[in-house]
Amino acid sequence: MVIGLGCDHRGFRLKEALRKHLAEREASVHDFGTNSEQPVDYPIIALRLAVAVSRCEAARGILVCGTGLGMAIAANKVPGIQAATVHDVHTARLARERNDAHIIAIGADVVKNEENAVRIVAAFLDARFQGGPSVAKIARIAAIEHRFRGGRSTGGHPWTRP
Ligand code: RB5
């Protein structure tokens, strides 16, 4: 499974730590940058990663910025993408199990320590979409997108659709 990883300057240190963790999991990582603490506008990175996920070039995405908010908002503008801001293991797991999120966005300033971020990422990657009553709700989200953007109305990412 290819995992996309991206950050802005505020998420850079945490992104580097997560890259090492993903290597230990023997995950195949595609790093979308940024690669320093030089300021970069987070939508640029979020767009690159979200487009790759929407094209199935990466199965999951992990974005890191200061709050996890801007990255998720930007990624969700790409048709077919479901990105969620998560700051703990519980929401990371449910983002996958219930919301069929392909991408999570973590706030480096919120999560603070590396160990916590590693646990959050592991919870997301180890979880599976549970289907059931969530399927109809996700189909409704896709229908909203279809109505306003002319995007797909297929009910989620093709790799994870039940
Ligand atoms: C810095 O650009 C900051 O706004 C960003 O890291 C993030 O917190 C946005 O939501």
Contact at 8 Å (CB) between 63 and 71?
yes
**CA–centroid distance, residue 59 to ligand 1 (Å):** 24
Does the active-site annotation cover 56?
no
Which ligand 1 atom is the nearest neighbour of the CA of 65? 6
- Residue 5: enclosing H or E segment and its boundaries? strand 2-7
3-state helix, strand, coil in the chain (%, to 5): 50, 15, 35
Which pLDDT tens digit goes with each residue over 57-105? 999 999 999 999 999 999 999 999 999 999 999 999 999 999 999 999 9
Which ligand 1 atom lies nearest to the CA of residue 67?
8
Q: Which atom of ligand 1 is nearest to the CA of 107?
A: 8
- 92-to-36, 89, 151 alpha-carbon distances in Å: 26, 5, 26
Chain segment 108-127, per-residue pLDDT in tens:
999 989 999 999 999 999 99
SS3 133: coil
Q: Which residues line ligand 1 (CB under 6 A)?
A: 8, 10, 42, 65-67, 69-70
What's the 9 CA to ligand 1 centre distance in angstroms?
A: 9
